[in-house]
Amino acid sequence: MSVGVLGAGAFGTALAIALARKAPVQLWARSETRARDMATHRQNTAYLPEQAFPEQLMVTANLQELAGCDTLLLAVPMQQLDNFIAENAAALQEKTLVACCKGVDLRSGDGPAEIIARHLPDTGFALLTGPSFARDIAVGLPTGLTLACTDDGRGQALQKALSTPALRLYRTTDVIGATLGGALKNVIAIACGATIGAGLGESARATVLTRGFAEMQRLALRRGAQAATLSGLSGFGDLVLTCTSEQSRNYRFGRALGQGTTFDPSVTVEGAATARAVRDIAARDDLDMPITSAVAGLVENRLDVTQAMQDLLSRSLKEE
């Protein structure tokens, strides 16, 4: 299997570094200047400074140079995926595409599998997701991920090719569960960050995390996911990591909301758009997702954290 990575942000670069420790990898960046800078300095100074590129990592801004790769990892932000696939469909045909993004597209309500199937119906698809910070993967710290692929034969081949001594992939055929777990945990991480940022305490965060997990399960099971996937790395595992770590951008964005401070708008925060997309899906499916709705309200500046928590606390008492 010959692997290329599309998208040279933090995650694409980290995956390329990890995989290039065992085999040649081509990393594609959309900016020619950035690609040249990375090729010269053998590191990604913008997104992952001080992580030296292995010898077998090649960088290019020319997609044609990845023509020989049969497997392409897509590491562009979720809200850019549709345009990215549409613009580059010709170069992506007859490849196995492994989406590495986490989220739900705001315009269509779709995940990566549906978006790719719309543009490239005959293309093999898998999703790589789970608890992992880019820097940890780049450094070579032990990390477990979920590889979801409905075609288990393809899934097995990908699992083998994309695992390394430090990066351990677990396999599932439940693409729906893996997609929704990875998408929704970011929304709940924003809520947890907001809870801590507003000074509401760690006990409150534990409740938000746990009730957020109940929302994740409610939506995912309704959409056909398996409960075991939600309890696995791509669901519960990533939820715990993202809701409790200062490394998480979603958590830090939420914390800034709670503190009433500004947050750099250029930073990728997948949970912000996903909260709005999922709030709309839940309304259509007649599902109760109060924490997700609250995050959507915070993101849209219709609510502040005090009001959002007051709304959650004043709901009628329920069975767990």
Ligand X SMILES: NC(=O)C1=CN([C@@H]2O[C@H](COP(=O)(O)OP(=O)(O)OC[C@H]3O[C@@H](n4cnc5c(N)ncnc54)[C@H](O)[C@@H]3O)[C@@H](O)[C@H]2O)C=CC1
Ligand Y SMILES: O=C(CO)COP(=O)(O)O
Using the minimum distance from each CB to ligand Y, give the nearer residue, 84 or 253: 253
Query: For residues 257 and 244, what is the distance between their CA atoms, to the nearest angstrom?
Result: 16
Q: Is residue 185 annotated as a catalytic residue, yes or no?
A: yes
Two tokens, residue 191:
């809520």
Q: Residue 145 binds what, of ligand Y, ligand X, none (CB under 5 to 8 Å, by partner type)?
A: none
Residue 133 is a binding residue for ligand Y (CB under 6 A): yes
Among 102, 185, 218, 252, binds ligand X (CB under 6 A): 102
CA angle 133, 294, 111 (to 5 degrees): 50
Give me the catalytic one of 22, 95, 160, 185: 185
CA angle 125, 219, 113 (to 5 degrees): 10
Among 78, 169, 187, 194, binds ligand X (CB under 6 A): 78
Instruction: Report which of 134, 140, 132, 136 is spatially closest to residue 20, judged by C-alpha positions.
Output: 140
Site for ligand Y in 150-189 (CB under 6 A): 186, 189
Total number of residues that touch ligand X (CB under 6 A): 24
Among 36, 39, 56, 80, binds ligand X (CB under 6 A): 80
Residue 84 is a binding residue for ligand X (CB under 6 A): yes
Query: For residues 66 and 58, what is the distance between their CA atoms, to the nearest angstrom?
Result: 10
Query: For residues 189 and 242, what is the distance between their CA atoms, to the nearest angstrom?
Result: 6
Q: Is 9 one of the annotated binding-site residues?
A: yes
Two tokens, residue 22:
């065992």
Site for ligand Y in 239-268 (CB under 6 A): 241-242, 248-250
Q: Is 10 one of the annotated binding-site residues?
A: yes
What is the enclosing helix (H) or strand (E) of 15? Answer: helix 10-20
Residue 133 is a binding residue for ligand X (CB under 6 A): yes
Q: Which residues of 176-199 are buried (b: 16+ CB within 10 A; e: fewer)?
A: bbbbbbbbbbbbbbbbbbbbbbbe
Site for ligand Y in 271-310 (CB under 6 A): none
Query: For residues 297 and 50, what is the distance between their CA atoms, to the nearest angstrom?
Result: 38
Residue 27 is a binding residue for ligand X (CB under 6 A): no
Site for ligand X in 42-71 (CB under 6 A): 47
Residue 238 is a binding residue for ligand Y (CB under 6 A): yes
Residue 43 is a binding residue for ligand Y (CB under 6 A): no
What is the enclosing helix (H) or strand (E) of 137? Answer: helix 134-139
Which residues are known to be catalytic? 185
Residues binding ligand X (CB under 6 A): 7-12, 30, 47, 75-78, 80, 83-84, 100-103, 132-134, 268, 270
**Residue positions forming the annotated binding site for NAD(+):** 7-12, 134, 249
